[in-house]
């Protein structure tokens, strides 16, 4: 099911209080960016933040499990953001900073573009 545009806009407004955020439609979902750092995604009206060993325990403490894009697919390095965090602007900023740091630390270098002949 596609994301609700109003929900995406609400999340952007909420997160942009802390850090300017923009989105880009992708694969039926949306990617969330802070500058050029892709730190979150939305799928089926659920918001997921980038996770690694540095912040995974925080998500698991709230009973969250990794994002699986379709049945049988491998889990991805994104976990759903607990609603309690989304509703607490100060905590949201802390969790955003952690997800942005994870994404920045794991950012792959851009592939060089092929020159047109």
Q: Quick check: is 9 in a domain?
A: yes
Rounded to two decimals, the pTM is: 0.88
Which residues on adjacent β-strands are paired with residue 26? 29
Domain that holds residue 75: 5-105
Q: Quick check: is 110 in a domain?
A: no
CATH of residue 55's domain is: 3.30.1460.30
Q: Quick check: is 83 in a domain?
A: yes
Q: Quick check: is 111 in a domain?
A: no
Q: Quick check: is 116 in a domain?
A: no
Q: Quick check: is 81 in a domain?
A: yes
Number of domains in the chain: 1
Structure-block tokens of residue 5: 């545009």
State residue 1's pLDDT score: 54
State residue 109's pLDDT score: 72
Q: Which helix (H) or strand (E) holds 89?
A: helix 89-105
pLDDT string in tens for the chain (117-residue length): 578 899 999 999 999 999 999 999 988 899 999 999 999 999 999 999 999 999 999 999 999 999 998 899 999 999 999 999 988 999 999 999 999 999 999 877 777 777 776
8 A C-beta contact, residue 20 and residue 70: no
Q: Quick check: is 45 in a domain?
A: yes
State residue 38's pLDDT score: 96
Q: Quick check: is 33 in a domain?
A: yes
């Amino acid at each position: 099911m596609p994301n609700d545009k109003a929900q995406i806009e609400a999340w952007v407004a909420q997160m942009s209080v802390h850090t300017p955020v923009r989105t880009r439609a992708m694969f039926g979902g949306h990617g969330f960016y802070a500058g050029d750092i892709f730190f979150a995604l939305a799928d089926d009206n659920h918001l997921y933040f980038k996770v690694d060993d540095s912040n995974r325990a925080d998500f698991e403490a709230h009973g969250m499990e990794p994002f699986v894009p379709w049945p049988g697919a491998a889990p991805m390095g994104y976990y759903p953001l607990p609603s309690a965090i989304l509703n607490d602007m100060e905590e949201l900023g802390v969790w955003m900073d952690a997800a942005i740091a994870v994404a920045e630390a794991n950012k792959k270098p851009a592939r060089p573009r092929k020159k047109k002949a």
